[in-house]
Amino acid sequence: MQGELLFFMQFLLSGLSMGSIYALVALGFVLIYKSTSILNLAQGEILMVGAYICLSMTLDFGLNFFASFIITMVFSVILGLAIERLVLRPLIGEPIISVIMVTLGLTYILRGVVIMLWGNDIRQFNIFPEEPVDLWGVKLTYLYLWSMGISLLLLTGFAIFFKYARTGIFMRAVADHQTASQSMGISVKRVFAISWCIAAVVSSIGGILVGNIGGVGVSLSYIGLKVLPAVIFGGLDSILGAIIGGLIVGVLEFLTAGYLDPYVPALNEVFPFIVLVLVLMVRPYGLFGTEEIERV
């Protein structure tokens, strides 16, 4: 491949691998929103906690990366369950806005706990080899390839899970209609708990991947803020939308970095959101979201 195209492909592929991580985190948002209609603002903090646990297991306790990964997953399940049971279940029946504010409070608590336990420094994993792989001229690090691979694998896995597994079908049913699900013998509480578990697990995996790329620090939690517009962009209640929204934000971010940053520095942090705002002006319910039709 020659010059221009190569340059484009380089940023496109990097963007896609970053975007696939965003998509993973976005999936967490959508799962919780769909089944419980709560927007979980603490998603980014759950991601950060996951990254810290994995880092701590690898560096402080000297476990190998795979073992730390598994431990982090187990911990995420427990964290998800704990948040659902201790923080959100007592709030069932309260106005949605209060519940969302509680998740905002949760962000400060989780951030505070992380700083208490691990301090404020940014630390590196340094597990994957630095030298890039050459794909027909496009150079990607192993880390990016792994991120893309793992994310795509998980996203496909979940797509199949929602389509065919019984628990997945239950989750769709509850998202669609809670009282009807109850009358069909589906335990709505159980579905809520499972949603939180899965959301915590995918966020933690996202955290570990991003943490490997840019280092683990408290600033990781801002990924949550970056993914939130991607989710809204794709449609808060659409899993497909979340995935595509995540990918688009990743790609836009990297393409802007490649093409526009030389003229306007650091535009790549902002540009995806300018596009999101424009899209939302045309489609307020997001690309794939359900259009709310109120019948009077």
Which chain residues interact with another protein by CB under 8 A? 165-170, 172-173, 176-177, 179-188, 194
- Those residues whose C-beta lies under 8 Å from the C-beta of residue 145, and which sit 6 or more positions away, are 17, 133
127 or 178, CB closer to another protein?
178
Nearest-approach distance from CB 172 to another protein, in angstroms: 7
57 or 174, CB closer to another protein?
174
Beta strand spans in 22-169 (E): 133-135, 138-140
Q: Cβ(167)–Cβ(194) under 8 Å? A: yes
177 or 283, CB closer to another protein?
177
132 or 168, CB closer to another protein?
168
Nearest-approach distance from CB 283 to another protein, in angstroms: 19
Nearest-approach distance from CB 164 to another protein, in angstroms: 9
Nearest-approach distance from CB 228 to another protein, in angstroms: 24
Report the alpha-carbon distance of residue 164 to residue 186 in Å, rounded: 16
Nearest-approach distance from CB 194 to another protein, in angstroms: 7
CA angle 224, 130, 258 (to 5 degrees): 60
Report the alpha-carbon distance of residue 197 to residue 45 in Å, rounded: 15
Backbone φ and ψ for 260, nearest 5 degrees, come out as -105, -25
Report the alpha-carbon distance of residue 23 to residue 13 in Å, rounded: 15
Report the alpha-carbon distance of residue 275 to residue 281 in Å, rounded: 10
85 or 172, CB closer to another protein?
172
Backbone φ and ψ for 292, nearest 5 degrees, come out as -75, 120
181 or 204, CB closer to another protein?
181
Longest dimension (CA), the chain: 62
Report the alpha-carbon distance of residue 247 to residue 40 in Å, rounded: 20
Nearest-approach distance from CB 190 to another protein, in angstroms: 8
Q: Phi-psi region for residue 83, left (φ > 0), alpha (ψ -120 to 50) or beta?
A: alpha
173 or 220, CB closer to another protein?
173
Nearest-approach distance from CB 241 to another protein, in angstroms: 14
Report the alpha-carbon distance of residue 75 to residue 69 in Å, rounded: 10
